[in-house]
A and B are shown apart, each in its own frame.
Chain A
Amino acid sequence: MLSYVPGDSLAHRLDPRTKLFVQVAFVLAAFAHTTVPGLAVLTVVALGCLALAGGSVRRTLWSYRYFLPFLLAGPLLEALTWGVPWVVLGDAVDPLLASYRVLLVFLVSGAYVRSTPVRDSRAAIQRLVPGKPGRLLGVGLSLVFRFLPVLKRDLFASRDAMRARLGEERPVHERMRIVATAGLNRAFGRADRLSVALRARCFAWNPTLPDLRFSRADAPAGTVGLLLVVWALV
């Protein structure tokens, strides 16, 4: 599974804001230059990003395997045609390039996920979105990160309990209802206890964030991002 891996690669040392900028710039460039030469250049950039984060292409793409059928469906369906000759390969070229650019974006976002710890991402969002909305997003994000494993365990427990009571015999919508009801109850129960705890500890709009500082390494990375944006616009 794709997740943060501690390390000391160049990508790990970059400021998360720079990495977010490079990602967005890459997407803009990939959508503006969905041609064979354009994607050839972007392939080099994407592989470079992943290498700088110490990630492997195979593992990154494997973590996106559930998206791959949709990447294939476009070109395959587009190549089919009603009547003779049934298959027109020429029609599949543009969708194929479009799918390939998404594959490249997966590599770049895989590099970000691998090299950026959660608390840095949270601090970056809180600095990028000004005022109270940014603070709500920041606190909300760290709570989501904290509670995902707990709620996953809750859901698995209720599914196992249902199985043990021969719940598999019930119709699908009944089973969805049972598992989701249990999940909701647990989530709301935890949320209410959490909000009492937050209020008891004087939950305020003034958070203490981890320090984020641009370093010398951010200059070349930021330049790559700028070049990608300029290239996307011309």
Chain B
Amino acid sequence: MATSTDSVELVGDEVTRNLARAALFAALMGAFAYVSFPNPLSPGIPVTLQVLGVFLAGIFLGPIWGGFAMVLYLLAGALGLPVFSGGSAGFGALVSQTGGYLVSYPFAAAVVGLGVHGVGDLADPRLVSVGRLVAAMVAGTVVIYTLGILGFWYVGDVGIVTAVVGAAVAFVPVEALKIAAAVGIVRSEAVAAR
């Protein structure tokens, strides 16, 4: 065992609390990959809660720890925890055609967090106006799809039109459902946010 002989430096209370929340959130994000719902628009493609998880990370953990939670999620998946679609794992998922989506999650969570909380201390999400919540999540969705389409275009070596058709058109309408669900979660009294 590699033993450190330096004097022990305790981790601060605030960091401990945020680290525990971010790690549990990353695990929840992984668990979301296993729960799918039928897609009302194209029945062949089931919807998972993953993008909803990105929104909620930004809303409940803020830009920094929300982004950190998504980094943990991606790293855990890349190192072998079965958290990507269909319970797959491995570095390969990040450099595949849909890798752009995965890579966008930390940025999107940070964008949603910034949109909801601004810079500085976190606000109580229940007190944030619905318009602001929806705008932040729409901005997050734009980040996800921009990087997703660019990833498909670059990795798949296809034209940009093919990338948009292949990677985005089938999925965009469903995001509205997730935004609606996220607003519902934030507004419900059930989640003890802070």
A interface list, Cβ under 8 A from B: 1-4, 23-24, 27, 34, 63-67, 70-71, 73-74, 77-78, 94-95, 97-99, 102, 105-106, 108-110, 112-113, 116, 118, 121-122, 125, 136-137, 139-141, 143-148, 150-152, 154-156, 159, 172-177, 179-181, 183-185, 187-188, 190-192, 194-195, 198-199, 202-211
**Is there an interface contact between B24 and A180, defined as CB atoms closer than 8 Å?**
no
Task: Pick the residue among A77, A144, A152, A208 that contacts B76 (CB under 8 A).
Answer: A144
Given A3-B89, A95-B156, A194-B24: A204 in contact with B191 (beta carbons within 8 A):
no
Distance to closest chain B CB from A114 (angstroms): 8
CB within 8 Å of A: which of B78-136? 78-83, 85-93, 95-98
**Is there an interface contact between B155 and A173, defined as CB atoms closer than 8 Å?**
no
- Can you pick out 12 interface pairs between chain A and chain B where the beta carbons lie within 8 Å of each other? A2-B89, A63-B87, A70-B97, A73-B166, A98-B155, A102-B97, A136-B68, A143-B23, A181-B190, A188-B60, A191-B17, A199-B13
Residues of B within 8 Å of A, CB-based: how many? 82
- Please, which residues of chain A bring their CB within 8 A of the CB of B66? none
**Is there an interface contact between B157 and A74, defined as CB atoms closer than 8 Å?**
yes
Q: Which residue of A lies closest to B9 (CB)?
A: A205
**Is there an interface contact between B28 and A116, defined as CB atoms closer than 8 Å?**
no
Assembly CA distance A106 to B91 (angstroms): 8
State the main secondary structure of chain B at its contact with A.
helix
Task: Pick the residue among A2, A106, A125, A202 that contacts B75 (CB under 8 A).
Answer: A125
Contact digits for B169-194, partner A, Cβ 8 Å, 1 yes 0 no? 00000000110110011001011100
Assembly CA distance A125 to B86 (angstroms): 25
Contact digits for B17-48, partner A, Cβ 8 Å, 1 yes 0 no? 10111111111101110110110100000010
State the main secondary structure of chain A at its contact with B.
helix
